[in-house]
Structure 1
Amino acid sequence: MKYQRFEQTIIVRMDKGEDIVKQVKNVALKEKIKLASISALGAINEFTVGVFKTKEKKYYANEFKGDFEIVSLTGTINTMNDEYYSHMHLSAGNDQGQVFGGHLNKAIVSATCEMVIQIINGEVDRYFDEEVGLNLLKL
């Protein structure tokens, strides 16, 4: 991974074999990011995304392997209990144009991933909401 910071914007290039989720955390910790938005595109050959079943208050994971283009990767960097926290969603398309997606758990780059991290001045923490079953923004 290589990246360059331009004031409040970071441009990231992730390389073949790198896990996008892990690299976002690496950049955020190195740059001491407490609040930011994320967007990206690229190519991946393995990814795991989850779907939250609201009635059960539980995530179910779906794993995919093959050649996929990132159609959309969006998310946030913030904190929970003043520690790093990220929340990302991924949609990826195969060679037939079928798109699969959900809450991003893991994505391995097959060629490259180009990401923009837009830092926001401020800090927003999260808390676990018993009723919903998720870590919500504390606003």
Structure 2
Amino acid sequence: MNYRKIDDIYLLCLQEGEKVISSIENFVKFEGINSGFFWAVGAVRNVELGIFDIDDKDYIKAIFKDYYEIVSCHGNISMDPDTQNPVIHTHISIADKDFRLYGGHLFEAEVTVTFEMVLFPVAVPIIRNINPKFNLKLWKVI
């Protein structure tokens, strides 16, 4: 990964073979970023996506092993108050070589060509607390 800070904004570029979510987690820990928003473009493979099943209160997951173009990727960074670790909440849409689209919650993906991201940190902490109805840690805006 290479990156540059311009004023309060970060430009990140992940390289071939890097893992998207774990790289973002390591970066925000290193830079001390607790909350923020980001957008990205690029290309990935071995994409693990999920759709939340409201009835079962768990994710239905699928892995897409081929290579894919990122059509849209955005997310937010917040903190888990129990672990004090950042939570990288990311949604992605990907297209295959036949122009079919897939999308959902991004658990992880591997960069094939590039992953170009702009990150906007925010000073106000965004905290996640358990929502018992869904058994998920969701935003608690204070």
- TM-score for both structures, normalised by structure 2: 0.94
Percentage of identical aligned residues = 28
Deviation (angstroms), 1:133: 2.1
Using the TM superposition, name which of 83-92 and 10-19 deviates more: 83-92
Aligned to 2:27: 27
Cα displacement string for residues 82-131 of structure 1 (whole angstroms, at most 9, x for unaligned residues):
43111111110001111111111111001111001111121011001111
Please give the alpha-carbon distance, in whole angstroms, between the structure 1 residues aligned to 2:132 and 2:61.
21
Aligned to 2:112: 110
Structure 2 counterpart of 1:43, one-letter code: A
Deviation (angstroms), 1:70: 0.5
Please give the alpha-carbon distance, in whole angstroms, between the structure 1 residues aligned to 2:67 and 2:34.
33
Contiguous gaps of at least 5 residues in structure 1: none
The ranges of structure 1 where at least 4 consecutive aligned residues each deviate by more than 2 angstroms after the TM superposition are none
SS at match of 1:128: strand
Q: How does 1:1-139 map to 2 (within 5 A)?
A: 1-81=1-81, 82-139=84-141
Structure 2 counterpart of 1:76, one-letter code: N
Deviation (angstroms), 1:60: 1.3
- TM-score for both structures, normalised by structure 1: 0.96
Aligned Cα root-mean-square deviation (Å): 0.9
SS at match of 2:59: strand
Cα displacement string for residues 46-69 of structure 1 (whole angstroms, at most 9, x for unaligned residues):
210111000111111110011200
Structure 1 counterpart of 2:100, one-letter code: Q
SS at match of 1:132: coil
SS at match of 2:25: helix
Please give the alpha-carbon distance, in whole angstroms, between the structure 2 residues aligned to 1:85 and 1:68.
24
Task: Tell me the matched-pair count.
Answer: 139
Structure 2 counterpart of 1:86, one-letter code: I
Deviation (angstroms), 1:27: 1.2
Structure 2 counterpart of 1:92, one-letter code: I
